[in-house]
Structure 1
Amino acid sequence: MSGGAGADDQMILAPAGKRPSLPLVRAAPLADIVAVVASIGLILTYVGFWSAPLTGYGARSADFLRNFYYPAYLLALVLVCMRPGRALKGMVRSPLLIALLLLTAATYFWSIMPDLTARRIPALVFTTLAGVALASRWSWKSLTEIVAGTLAVLAVMSLLLGALLPDMGRMQEIFPGAWRGLWLEKNGLGHVMVQTTIFLLAAGIMVPERRTLWFGLAAVSMALVILSTSKTALLVLLLSLGAMGFVAVVKSGPLRAVVATWLAVVVVIGVGLLIATETDLVLELLGKDATLTGRTEIWSGIMEQMSDHPWRGFGYGAVWDDPGFTGPKAWIGHQAHFLPANAHSGWLEIYIALGLGGVILFALWLVQIWAQSLWAAYASPGGWLALPMMISYTITMMSESIAMNWHELRWVIVVAVALKLALGDEPAAPNQAAPRPLSRR
Structure 2
Amino acid sequence: MTIAVGYRPHRVQVSGRAVECCVVSVLLLFHTGAVTVLSFTDASGNLTAAGQRTLQMLLLPVYLVTISVAARHPRQLLSTLRGNLPFALLVALPFLSTLWSVSPSITLRRSIGLALSILLAYVVATRFTPRQFLLIVVAVLGTSMVCSLLFAVLAPQMAYMPVGHELRGVFNHKNVLGWNAAICILATANLLVDRTANLRGLATVLLIASFCCLLLSGSSTALVVSAASGFFTLVYTLLRRSRGATRIVLILIAAQVALVGLMSIKVLVELLAEGVGKDPSLTGRVPLWALVDQNILQRPLLGHGYQAFWTQGNGEAWEIWTKLAWIAPHAHNGFRDWMLSCGIIGTIPLLTVLWRVLARGAWLHWHRPQEGWLWLNVLICVFIVMNLTESLLLVQNSFLFIIFAAAVLMVSAGQGRPRA
CA distance in structure 2 between the aligned counterparts of 1:179 and 1:46, rounded to whole angstroms = 20
1:83 and 2:83 correspond: no
CA distance in structure 2 between the aligned counterparts of 1:212 and 1:254, rounded to whole angstroms = 31
From 415, 426, 429, give the equivalent of 2:405.
Answer: 415
How far the C-alpha of 1:132 sits from its partner, in A, is 0.3
**1:97 matched residue in structure 2:** 87
Name the amino acid aligned to 1:53: S
- Over 3 Å counting, the alpha-carbon distance change for 1:308 and 1:234 in structure 2 is closer
Contact 1:298 1:333 in 2 (8 A): no
From 169, 191, 195, give the equivalent of 2:179.
Answer: 191
1:55 and 2:45 correspond: no
Using CA pairs under 8 Å that are at least 6 residues apart, name the structure with larger relative contact order, 1 or 2: 1
CA distance in structure 2 between the aligned counterparts of 1:59 and 1:393, rounded to whole angstroms = 25
- Over 3 Å counting, the alpha-carbon distance change for 1:131 and 1:167 in structure 2 is same
From 227, 233, 241, give the equivalent of 1:238.
Answer: 227
Name the amino acid aligned to 1:198: L
**1:266 matched residue in structure 2:** 253
Q: Secondary structure at the match of 1:319?
A: coil
Contact 1:80 1:137 in 2 (8 A): no
- Over 3 Å counting, the alpha-carbon distance change for 1:79 and 1:59 in structure 2 is closer
CA distance in structure 1 between the aligned counterparts of 2:161 and 2:299, rounded to whole angstroms = 42
How far the C-alpha of 1:195 sits from its partner, in A, is 1.5
Contact 2:95 2:111 in 1 (8 A): yes
**1:337 matched residue in structure 2:** 325
Q: Secondary structure at the match of 1:320?
A: coil
1:379-427: CA deviation from partner (whole Å, max 9, x where unpaired): 333422212212220111011111100010111111110111122379x
**1:391 matched residue in structure 2:** 381
1:360-375, aligned counterparts within 5 Å?
360-375=348-363
**2:391 matched residue in structure 1:** 401
Q: Secondary structure at the match of 1:128?
A: helix
Post-superposition, which runs of at least 4 consecutive aligned residues in structure 1 deviate over 6 A?
none
CA distance in structure 2 between the aligned counterparts of 1:276 and 1:350, rounded to whole angstroms = 20
Q: Secondary structure at the match of 2:400?
A: helix
How far the C-alpha of 1:267 sits from its partner, in A, is 5.6
Contact 1:301 1:335 in 2 (8 A): no
From 207, 212, 216, give the equivalent of 1:223.
Answer: 212
Name the amino acid aligned to 1:379: H
1:128-168: CA deviation from partner (whole Å, max 9, x where unpaired): 00100111111111111122112111110001111333222
**1:35 matched residue in structure 2:** 20
CA distance in structure 1 between the aligned counterparts of 2:90 and 2:319, rounded to whole angstroms = 27
1:376 and 2:364 correspond: yes
Q: How many pairs align?
A: 395
- Over 3 Å counting, the alpha-carbon distance change for 1:261 and 1:162 in structure 2 is farther
CA distance in structure 1 between the aligned counterparts of 2:143 and 2:402, rounded to whole angstroms = 19
How far the C-alpha of 1:285 sits from its partner, in A, is 2.9
Uncovered stretches (5+) of structure 1, i.e. residues with no partner = 1-26, 427-441
CA distance in structure 1 between the aligned counterparts of 2:213 and 2:359, rounded to whole angstroms = 31
CA distance in structure 1 between the aligned counterparts of 2:273 and 2:202, rounded to whole angstroms = 37
Contact 1:236 1:392 in 2 (8 A): yes
From 140, 143, 147, give the equivalent of 2:130.
Answer: 140
- Over 3 Å counting, the alpha-carbon distance change for 1:273 and 1:101 in structure 2 is closer
**1:318 matched residue in structure 2:** 308
1:144-197: CA deviation from partner (whole Å, max 9, x where unpaired): 112211211111000111133322212231x22x11111112111000111122
CA distance in structure 2 between the aligned counterparts of 1:409 and 1:270, rounded to whole angstroms = 29
Name the amino acid aligned to 2:409: L
**What root-mean-square deviation, in Å, do the aligned CA atoms of Structure 1 and Structure 2 show?**
2.6
Q: Which moved more, 1:55-64 or 1:364-373?
A: 55-64
**2:110 matched residue in structure 1:** 120
1:150 and 2:150 correspond: no
Name the amino acid aligned to 1:88: L
CA distance in structure 2 between the aligned counterparts of 1:169 and 1:229, rounded to whole angstroms = 14
**2:159 matched residue in structure 1:** 169
Aligned-residue identity in percent = 22
CA distance in structure 1 between the aligned counterparts of 2:257 and 2:109, rounded to whole angstroms = 45
Q: Which moved more, 1:298-307 or 1:276-285?
A: 276-285
CA distance in structure 2 between the aligned counterparts of 1:35 and 1:296, rounded to whole angstroms = 44
CA distance in structure 2 between the aligned counterparts of 1:165 and 1:74, rounded to whole angstroms = 33
1:210 and 2:195 correspond: no
How far the C-alpha of 1:123 sits from its partner, in A, is 0.5
Name the amino acid aligned to 2:122: V
1:54-106: CA deviation from partner (whole Å, max 9, x where unpaired): 33443622421111112221222233233322211111111111111222111
- Over 3 Å counting, the alpha-carbon distance change for 1:192 and 1:261 in structure 2 is farther
Name the amino acid aligned to 2:120: A
Q: Secondary structure at the match of 1:209?
A: coil
Name the amino acid aligned to 1:204: L
Name the amino acid aligned to 1:212: G
- Over 3 Å counting, the alpha-carbon distance change for 1:124 and 1:300 in structure 2 is same
Give TM-score scaled by structure 2 length: 0.86
Contact 2:221 2:389 in 1 (8 A): no
CA distance in structure 2 between the aligned counterparts of 1:89 and 1:420, rounded to whole angstroms = 12
CA distance in structure 1 between the aligned counterparts of 2:17 and 2:322, rounded to whole angstroms = 54
Contact 1:82 1:137 in 2 (8 A): no
Contact 1:316 1:353 in 2 (8 A): yes
Give TM-score scaled by structure 1 length: 0.82
**1:106 matched residue in structure 2:** 96
Contact 1:298 1:335 in 2 (8 A): no
- Over 3 Å counting, the alpha-carbon distance change for 1:423 and 1:222 in structure 2 is same
Q: Secondary structure at the match of 2:298?
A: coil
